[in-house]
Amino acid sequence: MDYTEIYNEKLIASVKEKLNSIGVVKTVKFLRKETGMSLIEAKKFVDAFKAEA
């Protein structure tokens, strides 16, 4: 899924930065708090960017 079409670039940049600095679990928690995503949605979102790294 291309998340860049759904979410703004600022959020995506934050997720990428946090993924590198605080890890997957805390990044998922951040994303859920910011967007209201479910746990599964947030994990898939983070995994999509983890695969790019």
Q: What burial letters (b/e) apply to 9-18, b meaning 16+ CB within 10 Å?
A: eebbeebbeb
| pLDDT tens-place string over residues 3-17 | 666 678 888 899 999
pTM of the model as a whole: 0.81
| pLDDT tens-place string over residues 3-53 | 666 678 888 899 999 999 999 999 999 999 999 999 999 999 999 988 776
In the chain, the amino acid numbered 15 is V
